[in-house]
Structure 1
């Protein structure tokens, strides 16, 4: 087996898969696994140890041992890289063939090609996603729908820059084994894209760029940096060619923003405010800490809540202090083809959200649908003009404390019967789609991904374990949740009619019940969900 000795592929090798699963690409996967898997496992254990301390009553805080990094004003991250100097609008989405074309053609500056939360990690999705990315760079990605509609790429100068989001450190890839061990999903995603597409991106005057999800500490960022260094060395690519934007989407990472930039400084292109996962993390980390950390239902938690303002303003200040981009959160609205009143109200909310971000100093923001690109672009054009970013806008007026970041109890809103039902309804619909291979799902005119399902089930778990009584109803109990699950399944059945997939919704019911009602909290619902997949 040559360079791939010790590598076993347990997934099927479908048409063209051998173009991605080459011996040399798998050799890079194997080397990265053997070099860094012990550290990944050590860092995952460190997550658990910190969680145990917080559950026992310890509050998160800025790290005293890294104060020297925060206090040293001399260091900066690398200068903005070609193709990601101007990031005023970024579109996100999975890497299926149609989305690949639509995202690249959308008019956005960047396409976050998502192998993580907007993607179900089925073997076919992962490998075909890599084929689509490579084919797009080779301009061989044309697509015709079953209805006969054709999709093709515009000219190279009109296309968004590809920035790939690999899976987080907690997820394995069960179809690739090295020395009998599962490989980190993040390492697989990074290595296969880097091996096949780095030189292709460089030839186009850009580079291999990444979004790094779910990190909880600067030591996890250090691990990514060391992986980048080794991978560039092996492929003979100059050190620093890779650029990475880190999602600050966990509450522990909010206390280590500067340290995360510092660890990746030669490869860093900024931070992103991953708002939905951030709410999920707030709930998860403090789930047993009583009513002080009890969030209202998710639809009432806006970005103007004090703790969210503290988080986003600190992110902008931190990034611009270090010469990095600050990228805003997702506008998840999906325009309706039938209801203009829904569109009118939603577009107004999107404009308000993007106006707040652009005025706060963000250099760009995310949208989930091509129709929102011109809306966000108009807002950021009004602030940026011809400037590619507003990194020069410093925020000395911002002074955020640990107490500000943890001020959950200052968030307005309540917990209603409708909120409980909405959590269950959205989670069931999302999980049914996820188990069927679709990780980005339009539900009630919003693009839902794994993060919103995580919020839904985590809130219910927290309400159950903190004896919450609904504002307009009974106490939240396991029996009440089970009853509403059955009722919402019937509602969905009536809504979908013949399109209701009995098998998928039964899987969704079982999975949701497991992660929402279990005595022991499951860290990520995607872990048991992934094990249910072939």
Structure 2
């Protein structure tokens, strides 16, 4: 393996060229990617500037609300173009990073769809990103295999695997190993373009298609950007417009007020919306972080029974079904506990109740992070669905801006503070060492839950109302004390050898910087990415 700088046109490919990477980074694929970057980077930069301007208004006390200028879209009688046959039934979807064994296991799981993730569950090292593209090319071709030298076990695809959906990284992230005109390429375009270029025709010829999940949109203008990108990509490769199908994650508070508009902008390419509940909670904290009365309760107190979260779910279902689109529910992050049937049954009971609530609200399916939860979720949706989905079910929810903005109830506790600190340190350490999907305390943690943890600590320190339920103010001094104590506990839990060989001290330092900084960093993965190979 050699360090290379490969120039194609005005694009420079930086990084180590490992065996197989040449299959992904062909001259044609890189030229296609560069063309899309040049065409759409200016619009993307304008969208990100708009995000910043809107956040400045929220920081001055402006409330998010439905847009008066797009009332005609919300009132209009229109529907999306349609849902392909292999996306009609999505009652259980599994998510996970694009690691080779994970891809095989997820496609073989007892689910309808697998979301192959370049985003929150992947630490985007150069090796992971490009090897992920290799893995998906092999999965689409049906040739993907993996031999585990440690266990001797061999992995290969079953005859009828789950439908593949790919989630590229969000608009805010860059791919520092691909420079177009001397600047890092938007990671979202890189992930989309490489996968689409290599796999679209094979998928279409097989009766499926290039399917995507779109993360972290904050407005219909960002949805319009995706739609324009889809049109350009299809036109360049001579593929019929509308062949791409996308599901949009509604995982930011501003986007919840523009769901109709997002569907409208993508109406020829969209098939549904998803309740990205964990990022949504993070976005609620971030969007309203300085407003009076907006201090968020402990992470585990903010569940889907809270009025604001239930309203968000109901509005998404009603909006989708009105437009002929599917409404996907949230993630169940629980991991089955080995050799503890009692603990599992208790956890499964909570999952069943959560999925029943989503089914009752109108959702057509939901996510799991572990194959062991798939039968639990499947049981709920099988019992409640008479057909592939609930599109024909009328929904008459009435959801206002006040409903979406209703403040979650619950305390701020020392236990919640400690959990946030511990999870954030351990996740950031794992992420910086190349693992973006981390089992902690019987939960599968990804970037979204780490974002909640560190954003809550920042808000509790900086907001005048940031007090624990015992009356103590959450100060930098208290945070430093908890940080030191939780580091000692982590050392005991992981062992001295693992602690010494890891990057826990670096993770602690980054968490401290993020939580005491005067301004809340928009995404922890942006500064962490600078520490990633």
Q: Same fold (TM over 0.5)?
A: yes
Give 1:339 deviation, angstroms: 2.5
How many residues were matched structurally?
527
Could you say which residue in structure 2 is the equivalent of 1:12? 16
Could you say which residue in structure 2 is the equivalent of 1:405? 404
Could you say which residue in structure 2 is the equivalent of 1:339? 340
**Counterparts of 1:134 and 1:237, CA distance in 2:** 18
Are the counterparts in 2 of residues 142 and 150 from structure 1 also a CA contact under 8 Å?
A: no
Are the counterparts in 1 of residues 6 and 13 from structure 2 also a CA contact under 8 Å?
A: no
What are the Cα deviations for residues 435-491 of structure 1, in whole angstroms up to 9, with x where unaligned? 111101110000100000100111111111113221136211111111211111110
Give 1:492 deviation, angstroms: 0.9
Question: How do residues 475-486 of structure 1 correspond to structure 2 at under 5 angstroms?
Answer: 475-486=473-484
Partner residue of 2:264 out of 262, 265, 274: 262
Could you say which residue in structure 1 is the equivalent of 2:76? 72
What are the Cα deviations for residues 84-139 of structure 1, in whole angstroms up to 9, with x where unaligned? 11100000000101100110000110000000000011111100000001111222
In the alignment, structure 1 segments of 5+ residues that lack a partner are none
Could you say which residue in structure 2 is the equivalent of 1:34? 38
Other structure's SS at 2:87 match? coil
Could you say which residue in structure 2 is the equivalent of 1:519? 518
Other structure's SS at 2:85 match? coil
Partner residue of 1:288 out of 287, 290, 293: 290
Give 1:501 deviation, angstroms: 4.4
**Counterparts of 1:150 and 1:139, CA distance in 2:** 19
Give 1:503 deviation, angstroms: 4.0
**Counterparts of 2:140 and 2:262, CA distance in 1:** 30
Is the counterpart of residue 48 in structure 1 residue 47 in structure 2? no
**Counterparts of 1:435 and 1:355, CA distance in 2:** 37
Inter-CA distance 491–146: structure 2 relative to 1 (3 Å threshold): farther
Other structure's SS at 1:219 match? helix
Could you say which residue in structure 2 is the equivalent of 1:162? 164
Are the counterparts in 2 of residues 215 and 248 from structure 1 also a CA contact under 8 Å?
A: yes
Other structure's SS at 1:500 match? helix
Give 1:496 deviation, angstroms: 1.1
Give 1:312 deviation, angstroms: 0.4
What are the Cα deviations for residues 298-352 of structure 1, in whole angstroms up to 9, with x where unaligned? 0111101010011000000000000000000000000111322221111000100
In the alignment, structure 2 segments of 5+ residues that lack a partner are none
Partner residue of 2:448 out of 443, 451, 456: 451
Is the counterpart of residue 102 in structure 1 residue 100 in structure 2? no
Is the counterpart of residue 426 in structure 1 residue 428 in structure 2? no
Give 1:395 deviation, angstroms: 1.0
Are the counterparts in 1 of residues 83 and 271 from structure 2 also a CA contact under 8 Å?
A: yes
**Counterparts of 1:118 and 1:2, CA distance in 2:** 29
Partner residue of 1:469 out of 461, 467, 470: 467
**Counterparts of 1:237 and 1:156, CA distance in 2:** 27
Inter-CA distance 266–119: structure 2 relative to 1 (3 Å threshold): same
Could you say which residue in structure 1 is the equivalent of 2:494? 496
Is the counterpart of residue 414 in structure 1 residue 411 in structure 2? yes
Could you say which residue in structure 2 is the equivalent of 1:394? 394
Partner residue of 2:120 out of 117, 122, 125: 117
What is the TM-score with the length of structure 2 in the denominator? 0.97
**Counterparts of 2:417 and 2:340, CA distance in 1:** 26
**Counterparts of 1:51 and 1:384, CA distance in 2:** 40
**Counterparts of 1:111 and 1:40, CA distance in 2:** 28
Give the aligned CA root-mean-square deviation in angstroms: 1.4
Partner residue of 1:435 out of 432, 435, 438: 432
Give 1:3 deviation, angstroms: 10
Are the counterparts in 1 of residues 80 and 268 from structure 2 also a CA contact under 8 Å?
A: yes
Other structure's SS at 1:365 match? strand
Partner residue of 2:214 out of 212, 215, 237: 212
**Counterparts of 2:131 and 2:337, CA distance in 1:** 30
Other structure's SS at 1:111 match? strand
What is the TM-score with the length of structure 1 in the denominator? 0.97
**Counterparts of 1:501 and 1:245, CA distance in 2:** 42
Are the counterparts in 2 of residues 416 and 473 from structure 1 also a CA contact under 8 Å?
A: no
**Counterparts of 2:341 and 2:488, CA distance in 1:** 28
**Counterparts of 1:313 and 1:370, CA distance in 2:** 27
Are the counterparts in 2 of residues 324 and 391 from structure 1 also a CA contact under 8 Å?
A: yes
Question: How do residues 345-356 of structure 1 correspond to structure 2 at under 5 angstroms?
Answer: 345-356=346-357
Inter-CA distance 378–501: structure 2 relative to 1 (3 Å threshold): farther
**Counterparts of 2:144 and 2:257, CA distance in 1:** 42
Are the counterparts in 2 of residues 3 and 23 from structure 1 also a CA contact under 8 Å?
A: no
**Counterparts of 1:429 and 1:363, CA distance in 2:** 34
Are the counterparts in 2 of residues 246 and 272 from structure 1 also a CA contact under 8 Å?
A: yes
Could you say which residue in structure 1 is the equivalent of 2:238? 236
Are the counterparts in 2 of residues 270 and 325 from structure 1 also a CA contact under 8 Å?
A: yes
Give 1:79 deviation, angstroms: 1.3
**Counterparts of 1:4 and 1:325, CA distance in 2:** 40
**Counterparts of 2:488 and 2:206, CA distance in 1:** 52
Is the counterpart of residue 142 in structure 1 residue 145 in structure 2? yes
Could you say which residue in structure 2 is the equivalent of 1:318? 319
Give 1:146 deviation, angstroms: 3.2
Is the counterpart of residue 187 in structure 1 residue 171 in structure 2? no
Is the counterpart of residue 23 in structure 1 residue 27 in structure 2? yes
What are the Cα deviations for residues 368-405 of structure 1, in whole angstroms up to 9, with x where unaligned? 000111111111011114x1111111212x11111111
Other structure's SS at 1:170 match? coil
**Counterparts of 1:96 and 1:83, CA distance in 2:** 24
